[in-house]
Structure formats: structure tokens, C-alpha cells
Amino acid sequence: MSYPGQVSIVESHLASFSHDVPAQLTVVLKYANFCLMSYSIDYFHSRIKAEIEGWPDGILADYARMVELLMEFGPNLRMPHSRAIGGGLFELRPRGREGTGRAFYCFVAGQRVVILHAFIKKTQETPEQELKIARKRMKEVQNG
């Protein structure tokens, strides 16, 4: 997924000085444009998306920013935005003045990310029950 009009902006800039730009650079720029936000986001169930949409505004805004980063960087997204839990499970770590959220996710074929489970943290430690839910759902996603 790329931003609307992005290719046309690059093409118009290239057209204005195309006699100075080698053909290889034109191809690289167009390729880089198409690679932006190359991961898609799916939700294990619509209830998870609804739960996240009900988060407090500050946490929700940070989550939205992190999802954009996740779409762009995929498995290369690291702390403080994302952390590997282990076994193919990851967490997004949105924060706001209202508190901290967690959204567990995994990667599946076709550059897809599946948001498995999400909640607002109430304690310093992530409750084991929340991790169990995410791991169970990840197994379901991976086993079809």
C-alpha cells in the first residue's frame, strides 16, 4: 500500500530534470515508492479491532502511528515501538497520558501482520493470561 499520489509526485520531479537522471535511478525511486508500507494489517477477529478503537485517545493515537510504522518496516520495527515476545509472537507498545496498551501480533505469508489480541495494561507485568490468548490465536492462524 502506498500513499495516494506519491508515484506521480516522484514522476513529476523526475520529469522536470529527467535529462540529468539516469534510468536506473528512476527505477529505484519508483521501486522504493511501491515498497512503502508493504505489510498489510489484519485482525484475528473484528472484536479486537473494536476493542482497540475503544481505547483512550492518547493510546489510540500512538497505536495508529505504530501500525503505520509496522506496515512500513515489518519485522524490522524494534523497541520502543515493538518487542519480540518469542516463538514468532510480537507486541506493539502504544502509550498515552491515559496509560499503556499492548497489541500482540504475528507475521504470516504474503507480508501480512495479524493482530491477535489487545488490551490496556493495568500492571507493570504483562499478565500470563493475556499472553496465553495471543499464543493460542497465533497457533490457529499458523495452522490454518
Average pLDDT over residues 106-122: 96
pLDDT tens profile 30-79? 444 444 558 999 999 999 999 999 999 999 999 999 999 999 999 999 99
Statement to judge: residues 25 and 50 lie in one domain: no
Cα 57 to Cα 52, 64, 98, 110, 124: the distances in Å are: 10, 10, 8, 31, 21
Statement to judge: residues 19 and 76 lie in one domain: no
pTM: 0.74
Q: Which residue has the cell 497465533?
A: 138
Give the burial class of 73: count Cβ atoms within 10 A of its Cβ; 0-12 exposed, 13-18 middle, 19 or more buried: middle
- 3-class secondary-structure state, position 51: helix
Count up the domains in the chain and report the number.
2
- List 44's β-bridge partners, or say none: none
Statement to judge: residues 47 and 27 lie in one domain: no
Q: Residue 144 — very low, low, confident or very high, per pLDDT cuts 50/70/90? A: confident
In the chain, helix, strand, coil percent, each to 5?
Answer: 50, 25, 30
Statement to judge: residues 14 and 73 lie in one domain: no
Average pLDDT over residues 78-102: 96
Q: Would residue 91 count as lying in a domain? A: yes
Statement to judge: residues 28 and 60 lie in one domain: no
For the chain, the average pLDDT equals 82
Statement to judge: residues 20 and 50 lie in one domain: no
Q: Would residue 118 count as lying in a domain? A: yes
Which residues, including other chains, have CB under 8 Å from residue 85's CB and lie 6 or more apart? Answer: 91, 104, 131, 134
AA identity, residue 92:
L
The DSSP 8-state label assigned to residue 126 in this structure reads P
Identify the domain containing residue 46 by its residue range.
Answer: 40-142
pLDDT confidence of residue 21? 41
Cell numbers that stand for 71 in this block? 506496515
Q: Would residue 1 count as lying in a domain? A: no
Question: Taking a C-beta distance cutoff of 8 angstroms, is the pair 132, 140 a contact?
Answer: no
Statement to judge: residues 56 and 100 lie in one domain: yes
- Residue 44 sits in a domain whose CATH number is 3.30.2310.20
